């Protein structure tokens, strides 16, 4: 008699395939490319965070150093315009060597018309922001200056709307109002509040916002893109004057 398999009986084991079956070479290539892409992205993220950390450290160092130089209690050099000129002359010399001598970056095609109508106005507002910002160190504390710098996005947004480079949106406007209220509350609680120093710092913020908007309006719309080194190369000598 033939043995009839019941439905409840386990199915007979299937023959095992070779565990060392070959994978198609195209799949190996796709996997290696994906791994290289992920590694490149991780390196770029690490470099970005490293640059941000270096920028924060250098920015904090410059702020504290300016306060130390301009303060009458320490270095006793209350000349913010002269400090701005020294700053710009050093930046211009370093940018010149990087562009012309070491050729780290190539200069862009700059005509006299573009320089007169675009670079000079941007340089004027940049120099004004540095001058007003350095003068504020003579009257108010570094901590309070950093609180006031929170108004920078607000000023930039307002100038962008006035110049037509951005649209007035309700969500952004509410965020800017919230930031402004926070700055007003922190200013009200400042122990050593000084009206003159606050006005200098706010004026410097407005000048910096105008510089950013003019950079977009005057340079980027003309197809002229400047990296940080070439920006110093062309703008620093004009700001020095």
Sorted by where each begins, the domain ranges of the chain are 30-78, 79-240
Q: Report whether 146 contacts 201 (CB < 8 A).
A: no
Which whole number is the average pLDDT over 142-151? 88
Q: What is the residue whose two structure tokens read 């000349």?
A: 79
Name which residue leads in pLDDT, 111 or 39.
111
The pLDDT tens digits for 224-233 are: 888 889 988 9
* 227 vs 14: CA distance, rounded Å: 66
pLDDT tens-digit map of 203-226? 999 999 999 999 888 887 778 888
Distance CA 147, CA 183 (A): 6
Give the pLDDT score at 22: 52
Q: How much is the pLDDT for 97? A: 94
pLDDT of residue 30: 64
- The pLDDT assigned to 26 comes to 54
For 78-92, what is the mean pLDDT?
Answer: 89
| Structural contact between residues 83 and 134, judged by C-beta atoms closer than 8 angstroms | yes
- Whether the pLDDT of residue 16 is over 70: the answer is no
Helices 152-163 + 195-214 axis angle, to 10: 50
pLDDT-derived band at 109, boundaries 50, 70, 90 = confident
Question: In the predicted model, is pLDDT for residue 19 greater than 70?
Answer: no
pLDDT at position 240, please? 57
Mean pLDDT of the chain: 83
Cα separation, 87 vs 228, in Å, equals: 15
3-class SS letters over 25-81 = HHHHHHHHHHHHHHHHHHHHHHHHHHHHHHHHHHHHHHHHHHHHHHCCCCCCCCCHH
Cβ proximity of 143 and 201 under 8 Å: no
> What is the pLDDT averaged over residues 1-28?
50
Among 14-18, 68-72, 184-188, which range has the highest average pLDDT? Answer: 68-72
Between the CA of residue 139 and those of 8, 118, 134, 164, 193, what are the distances in Å?
A: 91, 33, 10, 35, 9
């Amino acid at each position: 008699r033939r043995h009839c398999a019941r439905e409840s009986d386990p199915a007979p084991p299937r023959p095992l395939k070779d565990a060392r079956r070959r994978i198609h070479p195209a799949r190996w290539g796709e996997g290696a490319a994906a791994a290289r892409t992920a590694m490149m992205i991780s390196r770029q993220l690490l470099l970005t965070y490293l640059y941000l950390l270096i920028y924060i450290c250098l920015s904090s160092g410059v702020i504290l150093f300016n306060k130390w130089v301009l303060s009458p209690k320490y270095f006793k050099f209350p000349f913010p315009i002269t400090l701005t000129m020294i700053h710009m002359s050093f930046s211009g010399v370093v940018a010149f060597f990087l562009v012309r001598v070491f050729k780290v970056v190539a200069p862009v095609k700059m005509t006299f018309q573009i320089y007169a109508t675009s670079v000079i106005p941007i340089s004027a507002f940049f120099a004004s922001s540095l001058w007003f910002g350095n003068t504020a160190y003579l009257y108010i504390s570094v901590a309070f200056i950093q609180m006031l710098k929170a108004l920078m996005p607000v000023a930039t947004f307002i100038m962008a709307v006035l110049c037509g480079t951005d649209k007035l949106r309700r969500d952004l406007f509410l965020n800017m109002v919230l930031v402004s209220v926070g700055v007003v509350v922190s200013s009200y609680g400042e122990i050593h509040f000084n009206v003159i120093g606050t006005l200098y710092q706010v004026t410097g913020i407005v000048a910096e916002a105008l510089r950013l908007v003019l950079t977009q309006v005057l340079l980027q719309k003309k197809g002229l893109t400047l990296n940080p080194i070439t920006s110093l190369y062309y703008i620093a000598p004009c700001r020095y004057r």
